[in-house]
Amino acid sequence: MNEGKRIVIAGINTDVGKTVVAAILMEALEGYYWKPVQCGKPCDRDWVSRKISFKNRCYPSVDLSAPCSPHLAAKKEGIRIDAKRLIPPSCPSYLIIEGTGGLLSPLNDIESWADAAALWEAHWILVHRHYLGSLNHFFLTVEAMKHRNLSLLGVVFNGDGDFETEEMLLKKTNTQCLGRLLWQQRLTKAVVKNLAQKWKKAIHAALLLKEI
C-alpha cells in the first residue's frame, strides 16, 4: 500500500475534534477507520461506527481502560506499547488513522505516538481547535512534524475562529485548509455526510497534488 492510501489525523492537543474529522474523512473518501490505541471510555471506534454510512469499516485497536496518556494507561494494565508493534491493517480503500492525544503523547517511557506513526508512510491532516494558547500548540506541532519529515496534507479548523488568523497559520506553515468544522448542535449521521460532501473536493485536490 502506498502512502496516499493512509491518512493520519493528528491534533494540536487532546480533545480537539480528531474523531469527528476522522468520521468525515471516512465518508468523503469511502475509507476505513483505525485508532491504534484507545484510552478510556466511551470508545471512539464505536462513535465513528454510529456516525458513518458504511458498515464494518472500523478495525480493532489496543483498548485501555484508563482515560489518560497511553504510556500511563498501559502501565496501569501491566503492558507496554511498542511503536514497531502498531502495524496498520491492510484495507481496500483509504485507511483513516486517528492519533491518541497530541502528536507527542508518549506510548512508553521512550517512544511517542509520532514515533509509531512516522513508520507508516502516510499523509497527515492536522486538526486545530480554537482556544487560548492554540496558536503556539499549532506551530509547535507543525515544527515536530517537519522534524520527522511527515507529509502534511492540510489543516482542519474546529470552532469559530478569526479568518485572518487562520490564513496567517496556513501561510506561515505553507499548507492549506481542507475544511472548517463549526459548532453543531447535534452531530448526526446526516451532518457528517453533509460535511463530507463539502470537504470532498478540497481533500481530493490535496491528495492529487501530493501524488504528482
**Separation CA 41–CA 67 (nearest Å):** 7
Q: In the structure grid, which three cell numbers stand for residue 136, read together?
A: 503556539
Q: Is 73 exposed, middle or buried (0-12, 13-18, 19+ CB in 10 A)?
A: buried
Of 59, 19, 9, residue with least CA distance to 40: 19
Positions annotated as catalytic residues are 35
Helix axes 18-29, 44-51, angle to 10 degrees: 40
Task: Round to whole Å and give the CA distance between 62 and 165.
Answer: 37
The grid cell for 111 is: 517512544
Q: CA 98 to CA 100: how far, in whole Å?
A: 7
- Cα R_g (the chain), whole angstroms: 16
